[in-house]
Structure 1
C-alpha cells in the first residue's frame, strides 16, 4: 500500500484532492443550506415548485366572464407567479388550470375529456393560451377591440388612463403593435395635440421612452395651464356625470314641487271632508252625517247642495240663472 502511494502521479493526486473537496462542499451545503440559495448567494439546491407554493404566491382566479381584458390580466398574473415560484414548464398548465372557476372550469374539463388528462396537462403554456384566446376572445369581440385601438385617443390630461388602455390593447392585438416602431407610432398618434408634436420631435426609439416623455410633458402642460388638471371636469366620463347630476337636481326639484302640490290638495280635501283621525281614518267630531252630501256638518240645510250664486238649494252655481246676491262671496 505504501509503495503504491509513493508511485501515485501528480495528476492522480490532484484528482483525489478535488473529489474530496467536492464531497466536503456538497455535505456542507446540504447541512447548512435552508433556502434555494447558498451562503454565497449561488444556486445550490433549488426547491421544486409545488402547487402549494404556486397558490402561496396568490395567482388570480378566472371564471370566463371577465372578457378579453380580464383574460389578459389573469395570464399576466399567472406568468408573474411562474417566475416567483420557479415553476417548471411541464407544470405551468396543470397549476394554472387549478385557478379556473365556474364556466371556465367546465370548459377546461370538456377539453380534458377530449384530449385526455395526460395530453391536456402536457400542453405548452403558449398552446394553452391559444386555446383560451380562441374560446374567450371571439372574432366579433376582437374586431370591436381593433376598432377601439384604432380610434383610441387621450382625453384631457388623463395620460395614465390612456397609457394603460393602450398597453392592454397592444397585448391583446399584437398584430397591430408589431414591430415596436408601429406600437410607438400608434401610441404617439393618440396623444393630445399639446404634447404630440413634442414627443414626435424627440424621436423615441422604445415605447418606454415614448411613455416616459409623454407623462413628463403632460405634467408640464398641466402646470403651465395648457392642459386641465386631472381633477377637472375634462376627465373621461366627468361630462356625463355632471349632466346626470344637473338632471337629477332638476328632477328632484320637480318631484319636490309635485309632492307639495299633492300635499296641498290632500290638506284641502281633508279640511272639506271633516276632521278625521290619522290612525283610524274615521270621523271623530260631534256633527251628524248629512244624507245629501255624505259629510259631517252643522245645520239642517246642506251647503254642499246650495248655489254659491243665488243662495238657493238644488242646483250648482254653474247652472244658476238667478241674480247674484250682494252679500255672498264669489
Structure 2
C-alpha cells in the first residue's frame, strides 16, 4: 500500500509595518496649517470676485457698524424748540440754531430735515407754511433745502424795519452795572441778525469792547484780542476779578466799622 504524501504547507510571507508615532502638538500644527491654507484660499477667491472682505489677521471678517438713520421719534426725543411766528426775531434765530445743532449731532437726511422741522411750527407760522404748500405743491415744498427754508422764514418774520430797530439797539448797547454775562448774551444775539453792521471781525470786537464799563474797559482794550471768543472770555475774567476785589474791600470796610463800633461801646465803661 503506497504511503500518502504529507500535505504541503503554504507559508504566508510576513509583512513588516513601520509605525511612526505623532505627538499631540505635531497633530495640532498640521491641523492649523490646513485651516490657514483653507482660509487663504477663500480670501483669494473673494478678492478675485471683487468682494470687500475687510480682513483682519487670518481671514476674519470685520463687522462694521452702520449708523442708524434717526426717526421722527428720535427727533422729538431731542426736545426741539417750537416756533409760533409771534415770538420775534430773537426766538426765530434760536429756533434756527437749535435745529442746526440737532442736525449736526444726528443722522437726518435732507428730506427729513425739512419734514421734521416743519412739525415744530405752530399757530400763524404753521398757517403760513400750509399756505405756501398749497401754492407751490407738496412735492416742491418738501424738497426745498434747509437753507431755502431759513431764507423764506427770515424774509417773513424778520422784516427790514425790525432789523433796523435791532441795529439801533446794538449800536447803543452797553453793560448795565457789572452784568457782563447779560451783555455778552444780548450782544451775540444781535450780531447774529445785524450782519451788515460789521464787515470785519475787528469791527465787531471794537464795538464789543466799547460797550464795557470803565472799570475794565482799559484793560480789555489793551489786551487787543483777535477773535470775539477771546474778547468775551477776557472781559468776563476781568469783571470776575473786579467783583471779587470789590467784595474783599467791602468785607474789610465792614470789619473796620464793626471794630470801631465795639471800641466806641467800650469807651464809656472805661
Q: Structure 1 length as normaliser, TM-score?
A: 0.57
Corresponding residue of 2:47: 15
How many angstroms does 1:224 deviate by?
Answer: 2.6
Cα-to-partner distance string for 1:29-81 (whole Å, 9 max, x where unaligned):
3xxxxxxxx5xxxxx31111222221111101111111001111111111111
Give the SS at the match of 1:225: helix
How far residue 124 of structure 1 moved from its aligned partner, in angstroms, is 1.5
Shift of the 178–91 alpha-carbon distance from structure 1 to 2, 3 Å rule, reads: farther
Corresponding position: 1:93 with 2:114: yes
Deviation at 1:13, TM superposition (A): 6.4
Pair 1:158 & 2:179 matched: yes
Query: Where do 5+ consecutive residues of structure 2 fail to align?
Result: 1-43, 251-270
Q: CA deviation at 1:16?
A: 4.5
2:164 is the alignment partner of 1:137:
no
Question: Which residue, 224, 229, 237 being the options, matches 2:245?
Answer: 224
User: 2:152, 2:181 → 1: CA distance?
Assistant: 31
Q: Does the 8 Å CA contact 1:57/1:85 hold for their aligned counterparts?
A: no
SS at 2:119's partner residue? helix
Match of residue 318 from structure 1:
none
Separation in structure 2 between the aligned mates of residue 107 and residue 13 of structure 1, nearest angstrom: 60
Greater RCO between the two (CA within 8 Å, min separation 6)?
Answer: 2
Q: Could you tell me which of 136, 143, 146 is aligned with 1:122?
A: 143
- Tell me the C-alpha RMSD between the 2 structures: 2.8
Following superposition of structure 1 onto structure 2, how do residues 1-330 of structure 1 map, counting pairs within 5 Å? Answer: 15-16=47-48, 19=51, 21-22=53-54, 29=63, 44-225=65-246
Matched with 1:301 is none
Point out the more displaced range, 157-166 or 93-102. 93-102
- 2:84 alignment partner, SS class: coil
- Structure 1 pair 14–85 and aligned structure 2 pair: CA distance change class (3 A): closer
**How many residues in Structure 1 have an aligned counterpart in Structure 2?**
205
Specify whether residues 76 and 22 from structure 1 end up closer, same or farther in structure 2 by C-alpha distance, changes over 3 A only: same
CA contact (8 A) 1:62 1:99 kept: yes
Q: Which residue of the partner structure matches residue 264 of structure 1?
A: none
Cα distance in 1, alignment partners of residues 127 and 49 from structure 2: 60
Residues 17 and 116 of structure 1: CA distance in aligned 2, closer, same or farther (over 3 Å): closer
